Chains A and B, each alone.
Chain A
Amino acid sequence: MSLFFLTLGFGLVTASVLSLLSVGLSLQFGVTNFVNFAYGSYLSAGMLFTWTFSAKLHFPFVLATVCGVILTAILALIVNEVVFEPFAKRRKSIFYMLIVTFGLSLLLDSILQIFYGVGFDKFPIKQSAAIKIGPFDFTGVQLLIILVAVVSMVVIHLLLTRTSLGKKMRAMSDNPDLAKISGIDTKSVTRATWAISGALAGLGGVVLALNTVYFETTTGDSLLFVIFAAVILGGIGQTYGAMLGALVIGVVTEVSAVWVSSAYKTDVAFLILVIMLLVRPQGIIASQGKA
């Protein structure tokens, strides 16, 4: 039983990491309507930028994280301006957009690898002792990850429901053409969405690196399809669905370690993805016309 609670605790931490990442991917999908296969590179970029600031430039860790997250958001903005915007202008079909993002992931990964090289890095922070909360054992870092994720989810919720930008994003997600003729500046909303998506990828990357301790340039890509599994589980393009999907995938993959070797964690995520696609491809929270 203690093993169950231990893995459940890990599951909550993993779910927190995944929730940041899947919400970032899902928001962007909702607004731009294509899947970004380069998302894994964004989260690698987030953790590596933060590593540069904290390990090389000796910034305090929180400041380094803020700088890393902002840089990742800028990276996402630049990629949108230089790559996606020209393609969107030409109204390229979804086929080509997917191929372009796939190519971009290779491009960005290789560029990161040129600068950061191969091999594992680690943030220069101390591991804290375990803290007992009810039946769970958490380290300070793990509690911090959960806190960051919960705060971020609340902020995203407020953004979507209380601000004019959030309403515009939801409008574009529902029907981009209608949003456009209603006078919404779709271009600037798209830009804002990419910045938010990039920031969430960066932040998710940092907390992922905190959780796994060691990371390398391809860490982001190896998690990419687990994020996809969470997003599809919740219903693609659905922000709250993505949170729910992240919770389910995070908890199930970690708790599965009670029965199967933890080396097969990602395989469990894949299994959930397959079952979901066969049984309910539109996701738990279905959106019309998106499956």
Chain B
Amino acid sequence: MFEGVSAGFAAAFSIANIGYLIVGCSAGTLIGMIPGLGPMTAIALMIPLASTLEPASGIILMAAVYYGAIFGGSTSSILINAPGVASTVASSFDGFPLSQQGHAGKALAVAALSSFSGGIIAALMLLVSAPLLANLALSFHSSDYFALIVLGLVSVAAFTGRGELRKALLMTILGLMLSTVGTDQTQGIPRFTLGLVDLIDGISFLLLVMATFAISEALLAIMDPARGRPDQDTKKLTSLKVSKKELKDITPPVLRSSLSGFFVGLLPGAGATIASFLAYGTEQRFANKEARDQFGRGSLRGLAAPESANNAAATGSFVPMLTLGIPGSGTTAIMLGALIAYGIQPGPMLYISEPVVFWAVIVSMWLGNTVLLVLNLPLIPYIARLLTVPRTALLPMILFFSLIGVYLVSFNTFDIFLMTLFAFCAVLLRTCGFPMAPLILGFIMGGMIEENLRRALLLYDDSWSFIWERPSTGTILLLAFAVLVWPGVQSLRERLKAQ
């Protein structure tokens, strides 16, 4: 094993490879910052270049682009509330309020540090246990996935409560409803398309999130010039300083979220999105009352948890890809294609048959994360300065990039009209105090819940018996139930104590 590790390090530590790392991280960050262009696009763009390189260099380049794009995506979700990919939605819950309070630099620094820790911890776990973990990744059935996603949904649905429980619930249901528009994933029959050809493929996540987050935010800011105007104090805005107490505060959430994120990432049917929501929800539960109230209003813990979880999950998703050749996401599918093009057969024996490549991949994860941190920390003040751009320039820019980003994915003008419609509805709803996060959450989880539940029902001949016949399903559902009723029990106990 140590021979392999050292060969991997030797392969990764050449001047050329460090160069590819730097190029990849910068290109990835830039591409990821543009709403609509995520890790998948970034890697796809790099493939022609990577295919001309040695396998180890090519993989290092792609891994660097991958991590860069994930970090870049968090940047746009923190600064302008425009999460371009589903796995960074949870980062905007607290990241955006932080930057609105003028702490953009600090928020970006915490995001970078948490991503770094998540990536490093997950790569370490990959190193010690990849072949063993392959079996764990394959032990999940459809009913277990269903239960896991329900857990993700309830653990976050609770946070939006805070007095507006009914509104949050209504928005979750609206999100679930929107997710049913388009071709039914099980039967292949179009539903709720109003006879419109353009709705047959459903509503895209990007369109909905850009309309309800980025565009509605920009429109609200136009309507109310004083709204959420960050402190123009450039020194505070660009300051990266995270106090010792704050660091101590976010360390346990980062550790917990990295672990849970890695394990959720292992499952080919779950991935970084569920990992980030679960981490956010869990941390909110773990926090004491005072810290819990901070969630959603600019809590550093609320930012650190999903950031470390999504990076750890991205690393975890390499396990089924490298050991089984099963891609859990679009991004790993593209990476898998590139590996096969190099003549590398993924498999449980990969670390024996192709030690240099295997270890180069793992070493490149460490290097990619490190280079990313080193490159980005000094850049953060400049990135944060984006917010000092006068609003008359910034708001049109946000509108422009959101519209272009959505159009560039589908090349369908219908999407732009639909997006405008959603944006106006969102403005209306937000002025009436309806939160948008539960809507997106319901929308993302809706499709996954439906698909897995229906598959489980098909397998069990339309009976719900999997809930008690499969212990894992039952346990996770019980946990979800506990999470749902816990706040009620807690307040009841407090009331009884008070009496």
Is B one of A's binding partners? no
